[in-house]
Amino acid sequence: MILGPGDRAPDFSLSDQFGRFLHLAEAAERGPVILAFLPYAFSPVCGDEIRALQEVQDDADAAGDELTVIAVSADSKYTLAAWGAERGVTLALGSDFWPHGKVARAYGVFDEVHGVAERGVFVITSGGTIVSGRQVARTQTRDFAIEARIAAATD
Protein backbone atom coordinates (compact mmCIF):
# COMPACT_ATOMS: atom_id res chain seq x y z
CA MET A 1 0.00 0.00 0.00
CA ILE A 2 1.27 3.47 -0.91
CA LEU A 3 2.45 5.64 1.97
CA GLY A 4 0.44 8.75 2.70
CA PRO A 5 0.23 11.95 4.74
CA GLY A 6 1.53 11.55 8.27
CA ASP A 7 3.72 8.54 7.45
CA ARG A 8 7.42 8.73 8.12
CA ALA A 9 9.32 8.83 4.82
CA PRO A 10 11.65 5.83 4.61
CA ASP A 11 15.21 7.11 4.39
CA PHE A 12 17.37 5.82 1.57
CA SER A 13 20.77 6.08 0.00
CA LEU A 14 20.95 5.56 -3.76
CA SER A 15 23.50 6.18 -6.46
CA ASP A 16 22.58 9.15 -8.61
CA GLN A 17 23.24 9.41 -12.34
CA PHE A 18 26.80 10.59 -11.64
CA GLY A 19 27.65 7.74 -9.23
CA ARG A 20 27.40 9.98 -6.17
CA PHE A 21 25.38 8.88 -3.18
CA LEU A 22 22.01 10.50 -2.80
CA HIS A 23 20.55 10.50 0.74
CA LEU A 24 16.97 11.49 1.44
CA ALA A 25 17.85 12.67 4.96
CA GLU A 26 20.51 15.05 3.63
CA ALA A 27 18.18 16.46 0.98
CA ALA A 28 15.39 16.94 3.55
CA GLU A 29 17.73 18.85 5.87
CA ARG A 30 17.80 21.63 3.25
CA GLY A 31 14.02 21.83 2.96
CA PRO A 32 11.04 19.99 1.47
CA VAL A 33 11.58 17.20 -1.05
CA ILE A 34 9.45 16.12 -3.98
CA LEU A 35 10.19 12.43 -4.52
CA ALA A 36 8.86 11.13 -7.84
CA PHE A 37 9.08 7.52 -8.96
CA LEU A 38 9.35 6.84 -12.69
CA PRO A 39 8.99 3.41 -14.32
CA TYR A 40 11.18 3.68 -17.42
CA ALA A 41 13.90 6.07 -18.58
CA PHE A 42 13.62 6.83 -22.29
CA SER A 43 9.88 6.15 -22.42
CA PRO A 44 7.60 8.89 -23.82
CA VAL A 45 5.59 9.54 -20.64
CA CYS A 46 8.69 9.53 -18.42
CA GLY A 47 10.34 11.93 -20.87
CA ASP A 48 7.46 14.38 -20.46
CA GLU A 49 7.55 13.97 -16.70
CA ILE A 50 11.29 14.46 -16.30
CA ARG A 51 11.02 17.77 -18.19
CA ALA A 52 8.16 18.82 -15.88
CA LEU A 53 10.16 17.84 -12.78
CA GLN A 54 13.18 19.78 -14.04
CA GLU A 55 10.94 22.84 -14.49
CA VAL A 56 9.71 22.49 -10.89
CA GLN A 57 13.32 22.36 -9.68
CA ASP A 58 14.36 25.28 -11.91
CA ASP A 59 11.42 27.41 -10.72
CA ALA A 60 12.25 26.66 -7.07
CA ASP A 61 15.91 27.52 -7.64
CA ALA A 62 15.00 30.79 -9.35
CA ALA A 63 12.70 31.72 -6.44
CA GLY A 64 15.39 30.89 -3.89
CA ASP A 65 13.33 28.04 -2.41
CA GLU A 66 15.14 25.20 -0.68
CA LEU A 67 13.12 22.54 -2.51
CA THR A 68 14.88 19.41 -3.75
CA VAL A 69 13.33 17.31 -6.51
CA ILE A 70 14.46 13.69 -6.69
CA ALA A 71 13.35 11.31 -9.44
CA VAL A 72 13.83 7.58 -8.77
CA SER A 73 13.76 4.72 -11.26
CA ALA A 74 14.81 1.07 -11.13
CA ASP A 75 17.06 1.78 -14.12
CA SER A 76 20.83 1.58 -13.66
CA LYS A 77 22.86 4.72 -12.94
CA TYR A 78 24.38 4.38 -16.42
CA THR A 79 20.97 4.43 -18.08
CA LEU A 80 19.96 7.40 -15.94
CA ALA A 81 23.20 9.23 -16.80
CA ALA A 82 22.57 8.78 -20.54
CA TRP A 83 18.91 9.77 -20.20
CA GLY A 84 19.71 12.80 -18.04
CA ALA A 85 22.38 13.97 -20.48
CA GLU A 86 20.04 13.55 -23.44
CA ARG A 87 17.28 15.50 -21.66
CA GLY A 88 19.54 18.17 -20.13
CA VAL A 89 18.49 17.15 -16.64
CA THR A 90 20.39 18.51 -13.65
CA LEU A 91 18.07 17.32 -10.88
CA ALA A 92 18.96 14.16 -8.95
CA LEU A 93 18.10 10.88 -10.68
CA GLY A 94 18.29 8.05 -8.15
CA SER A 95 18.98 4.51 -9.32
CA ASP A 96 16.85 1.97 -7.42
CA PHE A 97 18.54 -0.77 -9.45
CA TRP A 98 19.97 -2.97 -6.69
CA PRO A 99 18.54 -4.33 -4.54
CA HIS A 100 16.03 -3.99 -7.33
CA GLY A 101 13.19 -1.65 -6.41
CA LYS A 102 13.98 -1.56 -2.68
CA VAL A 103 13.10 2.13 -2.27
CA ALA A 104 9.96 1.90 -4.43
CA ARG A 105 8.85 -1.08 -2.32
CA ALA A 106 9.40 0.91 0.89
CA TYR A 107 7.06 3.63 -0.43
CA GLY A 108 4.49 1.09 -1.68
CA VAL A 109 4.89 1.88 -5.38
CA PHE A 110 6.77 -1.10 -6.83
CA ASP A 111 5.13 -3.28 -9.48
CA GLU A 112 6.38 -6.79 -8.67
CA VAL A 113 5.05 -8.25 -11.92
CA HIS A 114 6.87 -5.85 -14.24
CA GLY A 115 9.83 -5.01 -11.99
CA VAL A 116 9.36 -1.23 -12.18
CA ALA A 117 8.26 1.63 -9.98
CA GLU A 118 4.72 2.86 -10.44
CA ARG A 119 4.08 6.58 -10.90
CA GLY A 120 4.06 7.55 -7.22
CA VAL A 121 4.98 11.03 -6.02
CA PHE A 122 5.49 12.28 -2.47
CA VAL A 123 6.12 15.60 -0.76
CA ILE A 124 8.33 15.18 2.29
CA THR A 125 8.99 17.81 4.97
CA SER A 126 12.42 18.70 6.29
CA GLY A 127 11.47 16.64 9.34
CA GLY A 128 10.99 13.53 7.18
CA THR A 129 7.19 13.34 7.25
CA ILE A 130 5.14 12.70 4.14
CA VAL A 131 2.56 15.47 3.67
CA SER A 132 1.31 14.34 0.27
CA GLY A 133 1.41 11.07 -1.62
CA ARG A 134 -0.37 9.90 -4.73
CA GLN A 135 -0.08 7.38 -7.52
CA VAL A 136 -1.45 7.45 -11.06
CA ALA A 137 -1.67 4.86 -13.82
CA ARG A 138 1.56 4.08 -15.63
CA THR A 139 0.11 5.50 -18.87
CA GLN A 140 -0.87 8.84 -17.27
CA THR A 141 1.40 11.90 -17.35
CA ARG A 142 1.45 13.71 -14.01
CA ASP A 143 1.21 17.45 -13.52
CA PHE A 144 3.57 18.23 -10.63
CA ALA A 145 2.10 21.70 -9.97
CA ILE A 146 0.14 20.17 -7.08
CA GLU A 147 3.29 18.92 -5.39
CA ALA A 148 5.12 22.19 -6.08
CA ARG A 149 2.33 24.16 -4.33
CA ILE A 150 2.28 21.76 -1.37
CA ALA A 151 6.08 21.88 -1.06
CA ALA A 152 6.06 25.71 -1.18
CA ALA A 153 3.59 25.75 1.73
CA THR A 154 5.65 23.20 3.69
CA ASP A 155 8.15 24.16 6.37
C-alpha atoms less than 13 angstroms from C-alpha of 75 in its C-beta half-sphere: 23
Active site residue 46: yes
93 and 84 in contact (C-beta within 8 Å)? yes
Catalytically annotated residue among 34, 41, 46, 81: 46
| CA distances in angstroms from 63 to 29, 60, 67, 70, listed in the order given | 19, 5, 10, 18
92 and 34 in contact (C-beta within 8 Å)? no
Q: Which is nearest to 72 in space by CA: 45, 129, 110?
A: 110
User: Which of the residues are catalytic?
Assistant: 46
